[in-house]
Amino acid sequence: MPTSDPGEDVTPSSPPAPASAPRPALAAAVVSRATSVADGAHVPFGEPLALVVHGASPGERVVIKVTAMQRTVAFSSWARFEADAAGIVDTRVASSREGTYEGVDPDGLLWSAVQAKTQDGLERNAVRFVVEAEKRPSTTVTVGRDFGDTSTRVPVDAADIVGALYVPRGEVRRGVIVAFGGSEGGASGGETYAAYWAERGYASLALAYFGAIGVPRRLERVPLEYFERAIAWLDTRKDVDASKIAVMGGSRGGEAALAIASKLPRVAATIAFVPSGVAWGAPTSSGEIASWTHGGADLPFVPYSATGPTVTVGPGGERVEHHAPTFDASLDAASPAALEAAAFRVEDAAGPVLMLGGADDQIWPSCRLGELAMKRLRASGHAVAHQDESLCFGDAGHGLGFPGLSTVGADIAPDPWGAGAYLALGGTAKGTARA
């Protein structure tokens, strides 16, 4: 089993001081998508990062330590390898014999990192690799990871829209991904998505649709016309191509994305993380108030059953609630008529639909909920015409995110609506990282 303890320093002690003159330091280079990355250079956040070490003796033990910044928080990992017959350790194909992960995993040094006590002077989002071998000086290579750093952030200047537009630098007018988060509210989820996509050359509009000044306080009766107005605002911009619009949301935001796609013909593509193909009631109303409206009317939603969450005890003794059983029971108890009324007419979407779910999602059964939408897409012929997909990732939970992040501890999170409570997200660190 991987040897790690989030409460302790995960890196092993440095090799003992040599009794004789040290051998030469090992050469090391960071590689991203088969391209060498110079020490001190920058790559977009989320791009794969591997380390290739040269100059070792065949079978020589080599320890690689990583400190990875996630914004301004440091995470650390390590792994011990044995050099191959050519004296090379390539973390894309080499097997970790010991460390925070074990086996062959190209992303293992990043997803297995645990929060460190200090950041050691690293800049925001940087990654530092340190190579150590017995009786050799260590070798250090550092790369930066850009996360919204190479784009221009423009606050929305419309009185009734809360958000910010990220525009990649350059003269090319690009299509726009309209991005938003889930039941946490506010703009943070959308801002994270937008910054990520801006690094990949897409303009992206981060929206808050509740939980911020200027929008509803709660996820209650949010008008889908709000998103329509946000898209119309993009028409006023000369630096983007508003004729090409995609929407992207996660969790309740994934539910919103499917609702928007079914109602707004200007949406050319839809990406829904851990979504629902049916509407649910407002999370703070015991299911008595609609979450969404369109044309002034509430969108019908699936009634909640009387089945409450399953409660377990977390590693620190905290109360942890698993809400997926509530949603499963609600789906099982709902009549066919109620399910049909609450279903989004995703077959009316103007373009392709991509849904991503976690098989071990403990917030709600995102694979099952996504499949409800996928069945409609298949039955209508939309799935063939637009190459729609619904992907269900084994051993992944609700916390599907971007590559390059630590997923240790991503199976649990504080409940934004419950004092002192925690929510089970599900999934293993490795499974969620692979998704």
What are the chain's domains? 27-145 (2.60.40.2240), 151-434 (3.40.50.1820)
Tell me what percent of the residues of the chain surpass a pLDDT of 90. Answer: 85
Whether 6 has a pLDDT exceeding 50, the answer reads: no
Instruction: Please name which of 77, 33, 82, 29 lies closest in space to residue 53, comparing C-alpha atoms.
Output: 29
Select, from the ranges 4-13, 52-61, 121-130, the one with the highest average predicted confidence (pLDDT): 52-61
Q: Do 239 and 167 touch, CB atoms closer than 8 A?
A: yes
- Output the CA–CA distances (angstroms, integers) from residue 120 to 41, 74, 318, in the order listed: 18, 8, 31
Q: How far apart are the C-alpha atoms of 186 and 184, rounded to whole Å?
A: 7
Q: CA-CA distance, 33 to 200, in Å (whole number)?
A: 14
Task: Say what the pTM is.
Answer: 0.91
Output DSSP code: residue 291. Answer: S
> Do the beta carbons of residue 208 and residue 185 sit within 8 Å?
yes
**60-117 pLDDT, tens per residue?**
999 999 999 998 899 999 999 999 999 999 999 999 999 999 999 999 999 999 999 8
pLDDT digit string, tens, across residues 120-171:
789 999 999 999 999 999 999 999 999 888 899 999 999 899 999 999 988 8
**Contacts of 403 by beta carbon, 8 Å cutoff, 6+ apart:** 46, 47, 48, 107, 110, 433
Question: Over 70: is that where the pLDDT of 431 sits?
Answer: yes
Three-state DSSP at 319 gives strand
In this structure, what token pair is assigned to residue 88? 């090379």
Two tokens, residue 329? 């029971």
Q: What is the pLDDT of residues 214-231, one digit of tens each?
A: 999 999 999 999 999 999
Indicate the pLDDT class of residue 12, thresholds 50, 70 and 90. low
pLDDT confidence of 423, banded at 50, 70, 90? very high
The percentage of the chain sitting over the pLDDT mark of 70, rounded to a whole number, equals 94
Residue type, 159: A
Residue ranges in 279-323 assigned as alpha helix (H): none
User: Alpha-carbon distance 103 to 96, whole Å?
Assistant: 5
Burial-class residue 184 by CB neighbours within 10 Å (0-12, 13-18, 19+): middle
Residue 7 — very low, low, confident or very high, per pLDDT cuts 50/70/90?
Answer: very low
Instruction: Evaluate if residue 23 carries a pLDDT over 70.
Output: yes
Strands 267-273 and 310-313 turn out to be unpaired
Query: pLDDT (tens digit, 9 = 90+) per residue, 347-405?
Result: 999 999 999 999 999 999 999 999 999 999 999 999 999 999 999 999 999 999 888 89
Q: What's the sign of the alpha-carbon dihedral 26, 30, 31, 35?
A: negative
At residue 221, the pLDDT reads 97
Other C-beta atoms within 10 Å of 121: how many? 9
* pLDDT confidence band for 415 (50 / 70 / 90): confident
Q: Which residue has the higher pLDDT, 22 or 242?
A: 242
Angle formed at CA 316 by CA 312 and CA 322, multiple of 5 degrees = 25
